[in-house]
Chain A
Amino acid sequence: MDNSLLSLLIWLPIFGGALVIWLGNERANTARWLSVALSIVVFIMSLSLFTEFDSSTHLMQFEEKASWISQFDVYYHIGVDGISMPLIILTTFSSILVLIAGWEVIQNRPAHYMAAFLMMEGLIIGVFSALDGILFYAFWEASLIPMLLIIGVWGGDNRVYAAIKFFLYTFLGSVFMLVSLIYMYNKGGSFSILDMHNLSLSASEQAWIFWAFFMAFAVKVPMFPVHTWLPDAHVQAPTGGSVILAAIMLKMGGYGFFRFSLPITPDASLEFSEIVIILSLIAIVYIGFVALVQRDMKKLIAYSSISHMGFVTLGVFALFLAYTPGAAEGALLGLEGAMIQMISHGFISAAMFLVVGVLYDRLHSREISTYGGVINSMPKFTGFAVLFAMANAGLPGTSGFVGEFMVILGVMQANIWYAVLAGTTLIVGAAYTLWMVKRVFWGEVTNPAVSTLSDINAREFGILAILAVAVVAMGLYPQPVIDVMHVSIEHLLNQALTSKL
């Protein structure tokens, strides 16, 4: 089974999804049970990626390779290293949560809903494990389709606008990526991503390719100023859609920088790193202020996601300035901090969107002003909400702290003023998160509907508890995650620092 583990992880949910569609909405309960069972099986299988992972090498593991389109040397080539493996586990983990979260909430076409998430899970695992450019591109674009449907079919009032905006925006970005993949194929004769890492490119070629990739990844992350699709998409998406969007799909952008930009175009990355850093800092500071004044909880969390993802791109591109020969710790702190931040944000944003989802399911409002004094009727729920809010504000002891801490420590070694700007998130991040907590959860009940709310049921409790454990565990003991990725990240750092010119 070892040799086809990754394939199983990709195709089991996809075919499982097809099976669920075939079951149909009439057999909704069977569909639900089957989907959740499948996602759990996939998760357990994905854990053996972790347990059997050899963290002493940066080489690809669990590799599979077969010819796919032989005329163009396109291979079905997959494998994982320390960068992609944690993200795959994050994917399988989050998928269980959203499937359970949609259990009774989704009454309209429940089987199709479940199937969409299953298929998306498979496709995203495909993205993270693809080692062939075209295969990557295929998974990358294919994963848009289920999300488009999820927003467009199960979304809010303005769902079609948001779905189309989401699709066109991200699609536009990735087309440029396809062009550069084809260009590199023409030049080097291979679509293999690892071959591209070694492909020698001139400065101007690198610049073009860098910006083409940047278009694709920056939209996905999303970075300022190409971020405005995200608040719309989140607001309209159903809870599960928001969770997957924030927890995993945004990470595809971050992953792209790790897998493509740095190793393929190291010189261009160096040359343009300050631009990316400044955009990241704008995301952290400017978006923080925008988040502060949001009246819609989902929008607030969406903006907060942009701000937190700013730490990912900041940590990645600060490496060139933070690196000093003989002491790579600064650069490594930035890179590994970025990875940790991605995983942690996966947990926390998922949790935050689920928290809003719990409230939305009850009162069908995302407006902060609808609520107030929720703690009086939902004390258990408030406990979770405050924990996740604190994690979102980067409280030590939660995963939210680890990534930000590492990135700020790393960025300080690049430039003190970058660190000062990034550090403002300590204040602004706490301000927007806890101000929302204050208005939603604390205080007197002003809206009579709030006093009739029933506290979370066992299903909701379970989901939130699992996330709470994940958030706290990673905050108290991040070393296992760092262990897994360390060698791969070191290798990546070498690639990024080795000029191709």
Chain B
Amino acid sequence: MEQIYLTIALAPLVGAIFAGFFGSLLGRMATTVITIAGVLISTVLSFYVFNHHVLEGGEVFNQNLYTWMQIGELNVSVGFLIDNLTAIMLVVVSFVSLMVHIYTIGYMHDDAGYTKFFSYISLFTFSMFMLVMSNNFMQLFFGWEAVGLVSYLLIGFWHHKESAVEANLKAFLVNRVGDFGFLLGIALVLMYFGSLDYVEVFASLGNVTGVTMLDGTSVITVICILLFIGAMGKSAQVPLHVWLPGSMEGPTPISALIHAATMVTAGIFMVSRMSPMFELSETALIVVMVVGAITALFMGLLGIVQNDIKKVVAYSTLSQLGYMTVALGVSAYSVAIFHLMTHAFFKALLFLAAGSVIVALHHKQDIREMGGLRKKMPITYWTSLVGTLALIGFPGFAGFYSKDMIIEAVHFSQLPFSDWVYVAVVIGVFITAFYSLRMFFLVFHGESRMDEHTASHVKESSISITLPLVALAIPSALIGYLTIDPMLFNGWLDNAITVAANHTSMASLEANFHGANGMIPHALQTLPFWMMVGGIASAWVLTLYRSQWADWIQKKFHRSNYVLESLYGFDRFNDIVFVGGIKKLGNFLWKVSDSGLIDKILVNGSARFVGFIASMVRPIQTGYVYHYAFFMIVSLLIILTWVLFAGDNPLLEL
């Protein structure tokens, strides 16, 4: 099996290397074939691995490939840990990646950086594999930062756009803030557990439980919160979410792959992987849950006022990541992973559909200037519909099962504040349905608001774009129904996830679960369903039925509208306090302290002081013998006077 795992990881890397270094030599065709072949191999093998581990219950594979560093007893290696969690992640990542690769052929067709783009997305796939297959914290951090690097490169892919290169710098730095916490967490893990290997760390959790640091805080709590700060950066949780909307500056395929389906869920994956540790800290779980709820609710609200098609989907992603985080907080890790999986399919689908629209409209992204695309782009329309229904949790679609389970899990949670969080996630359902359908109606229904030139050129996208749409629409519709039972209640994730006995959400979920079929009739009697219906209805009223009402509401509530449109002021705050403040501080330290005080006054000052003394003494060195003779005589006089007349002089006694 080791060869298979290695092949999964390395096949995209080989593709990336060929495309990156020899892309211009090989030409577009060969580059495309090589990279897609690489990802295809990984995908096929991932399914094989999935079958082997998840369906056939194969043994967990945990083996080091090579020693990265060995210091005394401490061994840090590069290695793979393949259990069911990894296997599921492999399938999700490789499948979405393959779809995005195919989609890219059509989407980037006219772009000069075609081969480079393929190299990057293959490199990304490799990095993501390394992240999810890791068996230790060092390699996890490697994958963590490597996906960040590729994200940086891809957000700034159109490097001539100032907004793009600002967004990629911001994305990298905000992620680095998260990584800062993450790295400190890893350092604490090493300090208290003496190892960076997952299995060894989890095995010695018992020795560290109850140990405290920094005046009585539990070590586990500190470690978990620091690790979660890393997750907040990567999975864009408030307040480290600010980079994700900006990342939409990148080409749409990567928004689908990196900023919706895979990379941003790395934080969710990581916390699930660390479930044995998080389970030991109530405090950390509360933090996780509350942060997730804030993100889920407030980022969803922002989706309502966005008019850029990709921005709407981006805020929706933020909100959905919030839902997953909430699930982690209430110890429903498997539900989080379940929603991660369904979300990966339907959100990738929505992004790619948005991309299809963008291409058709020659890179226009404002939904106010769209409308009536239903007839002209039927495949895009129908697949978007599937994606939208899955996103809002329409009964039967994938998102329905996963989101409903999250809401139920919160409902059953015994954690403090979980009542509030429940309110937030239920309101979130209304909001999700509202902004999703608002966008859907504005884009596909109603009168066309395009200018004539654009309208006359609109046509359905090419096969390389529509094929992935269809391929993603199928799991977006069905995957929830098919996998909810085994994934949540029948042990798919049992060998990867630990839930403490006193965290009863999952147990209560299971007790109340009566099969995927039973969920639909049950859902019709619950609040979330009617919230969703309310959201759809409001969206219809305000976009299609009486769109002037929307303007009236905007005017009437211009203050709330202002708060939303200014994105709660996070960006402005960061600009003034962090960017501005740090530049001021830097300038102060440089000009006043470094060049002024240290260099001018202390260093050059002492040089000048020496110079000053020298200039005082210099006039004496005239070069005339009679001057020197004169000084000698005067000096002798002074010395003799002193010698002779200073009392107690031994010379006087001679």
| Interface positions of A (Cβ within 8 A of B) | 165, 168-169, 225, 228-229, 286, 289-294, 327-330, 332-333, 336, 373, 375-376, 386, 390, 395-397, 401-402, 405-406, 408-409, 412-413, 416, 419-420, 423-424, 426-427, 430-431, 434-435, 438, 441-444, 477-479, 482-483, 486
B191 and A169 within 8 A (CB): no
- Contact pattern, B 178-215, Cβ under 8 Å of A = 1, otherwise 0: 01100110111011001000000000000000000110
Out of B74, B184, B585, B586, name the residue touching A420 (CB < 8 Å): B184
A294 and B590 within 8 A (CB): yes
A293 and B586 within 8 A (CB): yes
Closest beta carbon of chain A to B441's beta carbon, Å:
37
Question: Is B67 interfacial (CB 8 A cutoff)?
Answer: yes
B187 and A409 within 8 A (CB): yes
Question: Is B70 interfacial (CB 8 A cutoff)?
Answer: yes
Question: Is B73 interfacial (CB 8 A cutoff)?
Answer: yes
B607 and A290 within 8 A (CB): no
Out of A330, A376, A423, name the residue touching B191 (CB < 8 Å): A330
B173 and A427 within 8 A (CB): yes
B177 nearest CB neighbor, chain A only: A427
Out of A291, A329, A477, name the residue touching B66 (CB < 8 Å): A477
A328 to B165 CA separation, bound complex (whole angstroms): 45
Report the stretch among B350-358, B564-572, B594-602, B639-647 that lies at the interface.
B594-602
A286 to B160 CA separation, bound complex (whole angstroms): 33
User: In the assembled complex, which residues on chain A have CB atoms less than 8 Å from the CB atom of B156?
Assistant: 442
Given contacts A397-B142, A482-B69, A482-B70, contact A408 B187 (CB under 8 A): yes
User: In the assembled complex, which residues on chain B have CB atoms less than 8 Å from the CB atom of A405?
Assistant: 138, 141, 183
A376 to B159 CA separation, bound complex (whole angstroms): 9
Out of B177, B184, B583, name the residue touching A293 (CB < 8 Å): B583
A402 to B595 CA separation, bound complex (whole angstroms): 32
A444 to B144 CA separation, bound complex (whole angstroms): 30
Closest beta carbon of chain B to A469's beta carbon, Å:
13
B603 and A442 within 8 A (CB): no
Closest beta carbon of chain B to A299's beta carbon, Å:
9
Other 13 A-B pairs with CB < 8 A, given A291-B586, A292-B586 = A165-B603, A229-B603, A293-B587, A294-B590, A396-B142, A416-B214, A423-B183, A424-B180, A430-B176, A431-B582, A438-B168, A477-B68, A482-B69
A332 to B69 CA separation, bound complex (whole angstroms): 12
B160 nearest CB neighbor, chain A only: A444
Majority DSSP secondary structure for residues of B touching A:
helix
A169 nearest CB neighbor, chain B only: B603
A164 to B463 CA separation, bound complex (whole angstroms): 69
Closest beta carbon of chain B to A10's beta carbon, Å:
32
A435 to B159 CA separation, bound complex (whole angstroms): 14
A390 and B71 within 8 A (CB): no
A434 to B168 CA separation, bound complex (whole angstroms): 10
A327 to B72 CA separation, bound complex (whole angstroms): 9
Out of B149, B173, B587, name the residue touching A431 (CB < 8 Å): B173
Name which of A289, A328, A332, A376 has the most chain B CB atoms within 10 A of its CB: A289
User: In the assembled complex, which residues on chain A have CB atoms less than 8 Å from the CB atom of B602?
Assistant: 225
Name which of B66, B73, B162, B586 has the most chain A CB atoms within 10 A of its CB: B586
Interchain residue pairs with CB less than 8 A apart (19):
A228-B595, A286-B593, A289-B582, A327-B194, A332-B71, A332-B72, A373-B159, A402-B69, A408-B184, A408-B187, A419-B187, A430-B172, A431-B582, A434-B152, A434-B172, A435-B169, A438-B168, A442-B156, A482-B71
User: In the assembled complex, which residues on chain A have CB atoms less than 8 Å from the CB atom of B620?
Assistant: none
Out of A289, A426, A482, name the residue touching B180 (CB < 8 Å): A426
A269 to B568 CA separation, bound complex (whole angstroms): 52
Given contacts A169-B603, A293-B583, A427-B173, contact A412 B69 (CB under 8 A): no
A-B pairs, top 10 by smallest CB distance, nearest first, are A412-B187, A293-B586, A442-B165, A228-B599, A396-B142, A289-B586, A292-B586, A442-B159, A290-B590, A329-B74
B74 and A290 within 8 A (CB): no
- Contact pattern, B 154-175, Cβ under 8 Å of A = 1, otherwise 0: 0010011010011011001100
Question: Is B146 interfacial (CB 8 A cutoff)?
Answer: yes
A420 to B589 CA separation, bound complex (whole angstroms): 21
A336 nearest CB neighbor, chain B only: B71
A408 and B183 within 8 A (CB): yes
A376 and B160 within 8 A (CB): yes
Closest beta carbon of chain A to B25's beta carbon, Å:
13
Out of A420, A435, A478, name the residue touching B68 (CB < 8 Å): A478
Question: Is B460 interfacial (CB 8 A cutoff)?
Answer: no
User: In the assembled complex, which residues on chain B have CB atoms less than 8 Å from the CB atom of A482?
Assistant: 69-71
Closest beta carbon of chain A to B222's beta carbon, Å:
9
A103 to B166 CA separation, bound complex (whole angstroms): 37
B24 nearest CB neighbor, chain A only: A379
User: In the assembled complex, which residues on chain A have CB atoms less than 8 Å from the CB atom of B190?
Assistant: 409, 412-413
A332 to B133 CA separation, bound complex (whole angstroms): 29
A411 nearest CB neighbor, chain B only: B187
User: In the assembled complex, which residues on chain A have CB atoms less than 8 Å from the CB atom of B74?
Assistant: 329, 333
A479 to B598 CA separation, bound complex (whole angstroms): 40
B159 and A375 within 8 A (CB): yes
User: In the assembled complex, which residues on chain A have CB atoms less than 8 Å from the CB atom of B159?
Assistant: 373, 375, 441-443
A416 to B177 CA separation, bound complex (whole angstroms): 17
A292 nearest CB neighbor, chain B only: B586
A293 to B160 CA separation, bound complex (whole angstroms): 23
User: In the assembled complex, which residues on chain B have CB atoms less than 8 Å from the CB atom of A434?
Assistant: 152, 169, 172-173
A89 to B144 CA separation, bound complex (whole angstroms): 32
A330 to B72 CA separation, bound complex (whole angstroms): 10
Question: Is B145 interfacial (CB 8 A cutoff)?
Answer: yes
User: In the assembled complex, which residues on chain B have CB atoms less than 8 Å from the CB atom of A290?
Assistant: 586, 589-590, 594
- Contact pattern, B 376-391, Cβ under 8 Å of A = 1, otherwise 0: 0000000000000000
B582 and A292 within 8 A (CB): yes
Closest beta carbon of chain A to B508's beta carbon, Å:
38
A225 to B593 CA separation, bound complex (whole angstroms): 10
Out of A229, A336, A426, A441, name the residue touching B176 (CB < 8 Å): A426
Closest beta carbon of chain B to A108's beta carbon, Å:
28
Closest beta carbon of chain B to A380's beta carbon, Å:
10
User: In the assembled complex, which residues on chain B have CB atoms less than 8 Å from the CB atom of A416?
Assistant: 184, 188, 213-214
A477 to B183 CA separation, bound complex (whole angstroms): 20
A228 and B603 within 8 A (CB): yes
B583 and A479 within 8 A (CB): no
B594 and A228 within 8 A (CB): yes
B586 and A479 within 8 A (CB): no
User: In the assembled complex, which residues on chain B have CB atoms less than 8 Å from the CB atom of A327?
Assistant: 72-73, 194
User: In the assembled complex, which residues on chain A have CB atoms less than 8 Å from the CB atom of B594?
Assistant: 228, 290
A441 to B156 CA separation, bound complex (whole angstroms): 11
A168 to B213 CA separation, bound complex (whole angstroms): 47
